[in-house]
Structure 1
Amino acid sequence: MRKIQKTDLLHNQVYNIIKEQIMNGDILPGERIIETRIAEQLGVSRGTIREAFQMLLKDGLLIRNDKIISIYKPDKKEISDVYECRISIESLAAKLATQRISSNEIVQLEKVISDSKQALKDNNKKNLTILNQAFHDIIQTASNNEQLIKICDTIKTKILFIRTRILKEHLSDFSDFVEDHEKIFIAIKNQDANLAEKEMRIHIESSFKTILDAIESK
């Protein structure tokens, strides 16, 4: 477990430490998380733990059932609900980005794709996960639609959790997304709104299918 530093707000540090443990699988989905135990482990007050828990509850990574707090454990229906939202919202983001993206954002996307190809060659799953999220974040920002960006933010952490925990061993999925990203980028760069929307929809639907296949195989 990482050490607490004095250079940042304590509850932010605790939030990041617990979030990292959840994403890494150190704390398992469905597992109960106890306030006093975490406070003792990190050497912080229970008030600090409560503030961090509130942030994680807002992200959807913690679930409160009466007085019991446990790690988010999505079932197939919830995963379907999240991805139905994601398909619609991010397809729209890609369509809007074709008309609103800046030259700087085009350069950012080009670099993300280039870095993703290198990370794939290096079998660097951690960097691929980061670059995957960066690609989608840039397009959402390029949509220049504040409400769309807020909606994406509300489900972003859940999507990352689902992908990280379910697809942790599926490198082939990374290979597919790098190729998909390049198709989406070309459509956006060429200002082909319908094609950008279509390619983003195909991309996310493919990711959703991979997740469902992974669930069925367990």
Structure 2
Amino acid sequence: MSASGESAGSARRAAEALRERITEGLLEPGCRLVETELATELGVSRNTLREAFRLLTQDGLLSHQPNKGVRVRRLTVEDLADLYRVRRLIECGALRELAELPAGERSFDLAAAREAVAAGEEAARRADWKACGTADIRFHQALAGLAGSPHVDRLMVGVLAELRLAFHAMGDPRRFHEPYLGRNRQLLETLASGDAGKAAQELAFYLEDSRRQLVEAYARVAAAPM
């Protein structure tokens, strides 16, 4: 591999590491990213880190402002609306596609979804709502993964990382995440029964409720005095 190819690979790995931190809720919207610190933590040069920043800026996760440096991006209400539009197309679409399969072909692997549901319930028992949010994201990644498409998997990684930025707007994370634990369990049971069509309908209502809650939270944040 050429030196430039190695550098590009290092930048992609650094970008993936930062995206994972965002997905896990470790980097919040507005957080300033300090080049010297992150380059040391990730074991890359500052030039490589800047390329990683550029990749994540293209993905809508970071923003760069002159004289202010690179920060984790704050989503807008318009961003949220678009994210949920994409989620309905991908997640509900994946389940509807499963529902169209012949009855004998509707056996699909729910191991990742089961693991995510169990992780969310365990996090709730510990009152670790950040971990609960991460488990919820893993659950939805697993739902999209039922499409069996690497392209869909890659797209959902970015979509759900952006969505995690929206979770920070919720003043009470327990109030937001706790009700969806039962709904995730119900979706899993519906899929396990083989009724992917019903699961797609349940998920559509679920996503609309989630979208509405987040939009209302964003409205409260925008109305709050600075």
Provide closer, same or farther for how the CA distance between residues 14 and 83 of structure 1 changes in structure 2, counting only shifts above 3 A: closer
SS at match of 1:166: coil
Alignment partners' CA distance in 1, 2:38 and 2:147: 43
Question: TM-score scaled by structure 2?
Answer: 0.72
Question: TM-score scaled by structure 1?
Answer: 0.75
CA drift of 1:205 comes to 1.0
The residue that corresponds to 2:192 in the other structure is 189
RMSD across aligned positions (CA): 3.2
The 8 Å contact of residues 106 and 194 in structure 2, kept in 1 or not, is answered as no
- Whichever residue aligns with residue 17 of structure 2, its letter is N
CA drift of 1:214 comes to 1.1
Higher mean C-alpha deviation, range 177-186 or range 17-26: 17-26
Provide closer, same or farther for how the CA distance between residues 50 and 15 of structure 1 changes in structure 2, counting only shifts above 3 A: farther
CA drift of 1:209 comes to 1.1
SS at match of 2:63: strand
CA drift of 1:41 comes to 6.7
CA drift of 1:38 comes to 1.5
- Matching of residue 156 in structure 1 with residue 160 in structure 2: yes
The residue that corresponds to 1:6 in the other structure is none
Provide closer, same or farther for how the CA distance between residues 102 and 39 of structure 1 changes in structure 2, counting only shifts above 3 A: farther
The residue that corresponds to 1:50 in the other structure is 50
Once the two structures are superposed, the pairs formed by residues 1-218 of structure 1 within 5 Å of their partners are 11=11, 12-13=13-14, 16=17, 20=21, 23-25=25-27, 28-29=29-30, 38-39=35-36, 42-43=39-40, 45-64=45-64, 69-97=70-98, 99=101, 105-163=109-167, 165-167=168-170, 169-218=172-221
Q: Which sections of structure 2, spanning at least 5 residues, go unmatched?
A: 1-8, 222-226
Query: C-alpha deviations, 1:77-132, integer Å up to 9, x for none?
Result: 121121122122211122334556755x3244333323322221221123212211
Higher mean C-alpha deviation, range 41-50 or range 127-136: 41-50
Provide closer, same or farther for how the CA distance between residues 97 and 125 of structure 1 changes in structure 2, counting only shifts above 3 A: farther
Between Structure 1 and Structure 2, how many residues are aligned? Answer: 203
Query: C-alpha deviations, 1:177-203, integer Å up to 9, x for none?
Result: 111112211221122232111111111
SS at match of 1:63: strand
Alignment partners' CA distance in 2, 1:87 and 1:171: 24
CA drift of 1:167 comes to 2.6
Query: Percent identity at matched positions?
Result: 16
Alignment partners' CA distance in 2, 1:13 and 1:114: 30
Higher mean C-alpha deviation, range 107-116 or range 132-141: 107-116
Question: Post-superposition, which runs of at least 4 consecutive aligned residues in structure 1 deviate over 6 A?
Answer: 65-68
Provide closer, same or farther for how the CA distance between residues 15 and 181 of structure 1 changes in structure 2, counting only shifts above 3 A: closer
Q: Which sections of structure 1, spanning at least 5 residues, go unmatched?
A: 1-8
The 8 Å contact of residues 63 and 72 in structure 2, kept in 1 or not, is answered as yes
Alignment partners' CA distance in 1, 2:111 and 2:72: 38
CA drift of 1:150 comes to 4.1
